[in-house]
Structure 1
């Protein structure tokens, strides 16, 4: 309604009334959706099923994006329905999600982007603690970093999959931008810079150019670095803008990463078996015999089946010198005959093979 004493063009007033009517309809439809979700939640509880269904949510987004004719922007559409789905999951059963803390780490930001604001977030001091929290059932899901487009794999995450029985339920990409944060307003007062080792590596040239005499000190997270910068005179942190707001720090310099397009891939870990969507990815790990041509022989069934391998990493097994396990991501789902048959064929050629999960492919944008 218009304010008293202000003349409003009747055309505007008519459209505002129409907008109010649409808002009323939207409110009722959202509540109706949530009532249906509560029914689904009760059925899931009877069957002992998990609340999060990544394949179902992926299909919803695909359908909505294909039907959207604008002017609603795709990113806004995704944001709106992420919030609606988060509220839906909360009504079905309050969820707890573990992440590498403290608050305002990039892992925390990625978790909030994926699950929305309606869940309980549980910061953990290490990636191992994220795994443990989910394994013990304290949290429904955990979110951990697995690779960066510049620095490569997060080896500790890969190693923990060797020990854990948790599955990969989903993936999430987050574009990373680093700021220099400090209580001081300028560069001259900064003597020490704290951050996670990968963040320091990603800003190496900038730090050498503008803070050549500063001592670089590693922390287990960018948010912990921000905490230190808030506590210590003459200290700064390489961290997110969200960390600046949380820890009352000034942004001394923005976007100090050496390479602009810097993206980190995160994995949602839990106990779910996620059904196929038609646009999926399967992750596995295996150990080969230590003989010439062993890796070639193990990967050949994948090539014969026409599967597209999108990632291959190796890590020491730690149980025997010069013995390695390999991580592989392929396009497709374990419910696809080509994928399941290929894994069975590979098992016969491996000392050890483990299916880590099949889940919807996430957009890297």
Structure 2
């Protein structure tokens, strides 16, 4: 005679299977609706693209995309997280841009660098990304029209400003169209994903430097081999079963590797700010940032006088950086980021008052302040 307890377990199991099948059918129905709605959205985007072409407008509209992300964020009641929601809509907007006009984006390479990752997170994965060996090359590709936009690092929360990027703005006519903050976090990646299998670790020199304490604690006997790039380290790891590479979590997906350990860097809260450079004039969103560069007269108190209009017009300065002009000893450019858009009356008045005092001033662009995630 069958035990009653076994009968109850079988019935419960049958009920669970039935419920799972029912829920999966519901998901299938929702997916059908999602596919239809996404394609409807793309059809509308295609019409917008045709209208933009008629009026000669650029395809990328950073201000509009910012407003879309803020709107869907405000509509969200969960359980999807803000970051996940942003990524979903960034991919949809990337597909919209691609259907309007295929984009090429230059970035400081090689593949799998944090600049590459920041570019993918900003533009989505449907655009063509073109790796460049230097920041200058990234600027040049956009200037000569080979690429529509470029992505370059401009400052790091630990190491400070990326001087080469700042210097390029003196030579270039490109503007800042957007900004992106990217957390700099290192993972240990391998084919097996098992710590005990590792006999050698490949990495760019910076990876070893930033993860030294973790490596000494957990893998003190493992051989370390420097590579010229993160991409090279990842390629070698793919070919070596008992090896691992230090790279980003995103690189695991790009190279089909497994994560052995996450966030092995010594310094926490390491973030790099990236700039999206191009030729666009970006409309105001109400949550913007404006960047300018200038040279002050060689008189006492000159910098104070140049910055004073910010206080007079209640404009908040969020960054001030100096760089040698390289054309005259002890002469400096100053780079300043302020809150607000050049179309805001107080920002416009501030910049005009500063221009009256400066020997030289260049407007670098107004653009939406970055949304994290």
Q: TM-score range by the shorter chain?
A: 0.7 to 0.9
CA contact (8 A) 1:168 1:269 kept: yes
Task: Please give the per-residue CA displacement for 1:25-67, whole angstroms capped at 9, x wherever unaligned.
Answer: 2222211111111011011111221100000000111111112
1:208 Cα deviation from its structure 2 partner: 8.1
Query: Contact 1:297/1:349 (CA < 8 Å) preserved in 2?
Result: yes
Q: Does 1:123 align with 2:131?
A: yes
- Structure 2, unmatched stretches of 5+, are 1-13
Residues 1:222 and 1:283: Cα distance change in structure 2 (over 3 Å): farther
In structure 1, the partner of 2:292 is 284
| Residue pair 1:187, 1:252 contacting (<8 A) in 2 also | no
Say if 1:222 and 1:240, in contact at 8 Å, map to a contact too: no
Structure 1 gap ranges (5+): 1-5
Aligned to 2:268: 260
- For the aligned residue pairs, the C-alpha RMSD in angstroms reads 3.3
Q: Distance in 1 between matches of 2:305 and 2:331?
A: 17
Alpha-carbon distance in 1 for matches of 2:98, 2:187: 33
Instruction: Please say if 1:194 is aligned against 2:186.
Output: no
1:3 equivalent in structure 2: none
Please state how far the C-alpha of 1:23 moved relative to its aligned partner.
2.7
SS at match of 2:357: coil
Give how far 1:193 is off. 5.8
Q: 1:76 aligns with which of 78, 84, 89?
A: 84
Q: Which protein is richer in helix relative to its size?
A: 2
Compute the displacement of 1:278 (Å).
0.3
Distance 1:300 1:218 in 2: 49
Question: 2-side partners of 1:361 and 1:26: how far apart?
Answer: 30
User: How many Å separate the matches in 1 of 2:46 and 2:370?
Assistant: 27
1:34 is aligned, of 31, 42, 64, to: 42
CA distance in 1 between partners of 2:301 and 2:116 (Å): 42
Compute the displacement of 1:155 (Å): 0.8
Give runs of aligned pairs for residues 53-92 of structure 1, distance below 5 A. 53-92=61-100
Partner of 1:166: 174
* Alpha-carbon distance change, 72 to 248 in structure 1, aligned in 2, over 3 angstroms: closer
SS at match of 2:170: helix
Q: Note the C-alpha offset of 1:21.
A: 3.5
2:307 to 273, 292, 299: 299
The TM-score, its normalising length taken from structure 1, stands at 0.85
Distance across 1 between alignment mates of 2:203 and 2:100: 44
Q: How does 1:84-103 map to 2 (within 5 A)?
A: 84-103=92-111
Indicate conservation of the 8 Å contact 1:127/1:157, yes or no: yes
SS at match of 1:66: helix
Mapping 1:1-365, distance limit 5 Å: 15-179=23-187, 194-196=204-206, 202-203=210-211, 222-223=230-231, 238-243=246-251, 254-364=262-372
Q: 1:325 to 1:71 in 2, by over 3 A?
A: same
Computing the radius of gyration from Cα coordinates, the structure with the larger value is 2
Separation in structure 2 between the aligned mates of residue 254 and residue 334 of structure 1, nearest angstrom: 42
Output the CA distance in 2 between the equivalents of 1:257 and 1:35.
45
Residues 226-251 of structure 1 deviation map (CA, whole Å, 9 limit, x = unaligned): 5688899xx98653244466568887
Contact 2:292 2:364 in 1 (8 A): yes
Deviation at 1:22, TM superposition (A): 3.1
- Secondary structure of residue in 2 paired with 1:328: strand
